[in-house]
Amino acid sequence: MGIIVDSFAGGGGASTGIEMALGRSPDIAINHSREALALHSVNHPDTIHMVSDIWEVPPAEVVRQHGPIDLLWASPDCRHFSKAKGGRPVKKNIRSLAWVVIRWAAKARPRGILLENVEEFKSWGPLNDDGRPC
């Protein structure tokens, strides 16, 4: 059996859903926020918590150390892109988070990937010179 990775782990809501659906918590949770992972660790004490920028975690190294990935759960930040925020991409580094999922797909070869995001995600892509999506 492979591992489950929650790659944008917050307080643990997605991981709780994973646990309810699959009968076990994610094996690894990754987030740059110590506070988010502190809460996650209360909700999922048996999960390995990696405090790191997701771009700095080498997917192949995770596989080497922990085994093949059965499920990669990804919920890239959408706060600066959703209708609730006006639909305008505000920060380039937030928009780039979705591309890390492609990197993990190529380097870790998970059996399954679930990517959760807002409806506007469909139009993420390169920006024009004016900062709007092409």
Q: List pLDDT tens digits, range 53-87.
A: 989 999 999 999 999 999 999 887 655 555 555 55
Q: Are 78 and 13 in contact (CB under 8 A)?
A: no
Instruction: Give every CB contact of residue 10 below 8 A, 6+ residues apart in sequence.
Output: 31, 36, 39, 40, 75
Give the pLDDT confidence score for residue 17 in this predicted structure.
Answer: 94
Could you read off the pLDDT of 11-53 as tens digits, one per residue? 888 999 999 999 999 999 999 999 999 999 999 999 999 999 9
Give the pLDDT confidence score for residue 37 in this predicted structure.
Answer: 94
The answer to whether residue 100 scores a pLDDT higher than 80 is: yes
Give the pLDDT confidence score for residue 116 in this predicted structure.
Answer: 78
Q: Which residue has the higher pLDDT, 25 or 98?
A: 25
